[in-house]
Amino acid sequence: MEFGLFSNGFRPHTTAAQTYEEDLAEIVLADQLGFRDCYISEHHGEPVYIDKVDTLPVPELLMCKAAAVTKRIRMGAAVKLIHLHHPVDIAIQAAVADHVIGGGRFIFGFGSGFPSPLFSDERGLSYVDRHERLRESLDLILKCWTANEPFDWDGKHWRGKGIVALPRPLNAPHMPMATATDTDVMIDLAAARGYTMLRAQLEPAGSIRKIADRYMRAAQAAGQPAPLGKFAVARYVYLADSRRQAMDDLRADINYELTYQIKRGLIRILTANYGLSLKPDEVTFDRLAEAGFYHLGDPDAVAQELRQFYEASGGFGTLLIVTGKKWATREKVFRSMRLFMEQVAPKLRDLVPAREPDNVAA
């Protein structure tokens, strides 16, 4: 198993500059500790965030800065909302990031993102057509990266004449790719092409296993080797001397964030994913911790929990721990990251994701 960060930013309003520096500090430490990957959320502004919470709508800019102060860690967006921007501009920006970051460390992570009409509406685009528009965007982006001469594009959603998208990616035909999706079409496409599949931290083990089964079948049909190793799964992980200490460290900060996530539709997600029917005042850190959303406590206990989750989900190649949060203090967060790599990761590295898909009828 490999390990990485999912920098899923949420920091109460200071300045965006300070938020980005906090995120950067975690990425630098992760590189020093030996985390292989860092996926960074593309978070756009929403009414609930105005003058209260900082956002990072262009994660590639942070990646380029991080590349100058790290040595090995690979970075990608989780995810670039490619249905919102003209594909020619996305293709050019990604290729430039690939060259600036260098060393094959840039991953093109893409997807449709949080299911809110706001982002499409802001740009005069259709929310209903976002998945169809995304697929056309991907086709045009790939064409930009491989075309040897100017070309025209006359699609349903995007158009262009005499397109010249330079530079091309650092290594032909393109950089490593990753996506987060729940649509069957994109799961099958990602599997057939060998794209990494990203799964979010609020997704239960059973859902991950079901999607992994579909992904594996499509990958095997396309001749892609070891498909389950291309699954990257995010979890909330925080280490302290005890579970009680971990919960005391996080309670106030997570409860504060939950007030925002409830307004953004968290209850709908909890109901869909876990069947939890909760009123807003019932969605608390302690309630969610009791339900198993967070892996908290001392290293031995957390390692055992994560192994159990791994088995229940059917296995995966990369575990991403969630960062980018205003949790406890920087010192305590850094200690948690160190404890993870020093005392938890060694207990999980032997896990090799290799199984056959479950029976379809099951």
pLDDT for 143 equals 98
- Quote the pLDDT of residue 13: 87
What is residue 360's predicted lDDT score, i.e. its pLDDT? 67
Average pLDDT over residues 262-278: 88
Specify whether the CB–CB gap between 108 and 137 falls below 8 A: no
The reply to whether 288 falls in a domain is yes
362 pLDDT higher than 50: no
Please state, in angstroms and as integers, the Cα–Cα distance from residue 25 to each residue in 69, 329, 334, following that order.
10, 13, 9
CB 111 within 8 Å of CB 180: yes
* Tens-digit pLDDT profile for residues 136-147: 999 999 999 999
Q: Which parts of 184-274 fold into alpha helices (H)?
A: 184-193, 205-221, 243-263, 266-274
Alpha helices in 10-86 (DSSP H): 16-33, 59-68
Convert the pLDDT of each residue in 80-103 to its tens digit.
Answer: 999 999 999 999 999 999 999 999
Q: What is the dihedral of CA 65, 69, 72, 75, to 10 degrees?
A: -20
DSSP 143-188: HHHH-SS-EEEE-SS-EEEEE---SPPSSSS---EEEE---HHHHH
Burial class (CB in 10 A: 0-12, 13-18, 19+), 103: exposed
Q: What 3-state class would DSSP assign to 237?
A: strand
Helix, strand, coil: what percent of the chain each, to 5?
Answer: 50, 20, 35
Q: How far is CA 223 from the centre of its chain?
A: 26
Mean pLDDT of 152-176: 98
pLDDT band at 106 (very low <50, low <70, confident <90, very high): very high
The confidence band for 322, taking pLDDT boundaries of 50, 70 and 90, is very high
Residue 235 pLDDT > 50: yes
Is residue 93 in some structural domain?
A: no
DSSP structural state of residue 347: H
User: Would you say 118 and 190 are in contact if contact means Cβ atoms under 8 Å apart?
Assistant: no
26 within 8 A of 333, measured Cβ to Cβ = yes
Q: Is residue 128 part of a domain?
A: no
Domain that holds residue 303: 2-78+181-348
> What average pLDDT does the chain have?
96
- Whether residue 358 is contained in a domain is answered as no
From residue 179, alpha-carbon distances to 28, 63, 227, 281, 339 in Å are 24, 18, 14, 34, 29
Within-domain flag for 156: no
Give the contacts of 22 (CB within 8 A, at least 6 positions apart).
Answer: 11, 326, 330
Q: How many whole angstroms separate alpha carbon 77 and alpha carbon 179?
A: 9
Q: Give the pLDDT mean for 64-92.
A: 98
Q: Does pLDDT of 22 surpass 60?
A: yes
- pLDDT greater than 80 at residue 264: yes
- Which residue is listed with tokens 């593309």? 42
Q: Structural domain tally of the chain? A: 1
Output the CA–CA distances (angstroms, integers) from residue 337 to 3, 4, 284, in the order listed. 11, 11, 24
Res. 361: pLDDT tops 80: no
Residue 191, domain CATH: 3.20.20.30
Q: Is residue 298 part of a domain?
A: yes
pLDDT at 310 over 50: yes
CB 178 within 8 A of CB 76: yes
pLDDT, residue 244, reads: 98
Give residue 355's pLDDT.
93
Reply yes or no on whether the pLDDT at 348 is more than 90: yes
For residue 277, pLDDT beyond 50: yes
Decide if 315 contacts 242 (C-beta within 8 A).
no
Look at residue 234 and tell me if it is in a domain. yes
pLDDT of 268 reads 86
| Cα 57 to Cα 318: distance, rounded to the nearest angstrom | 25
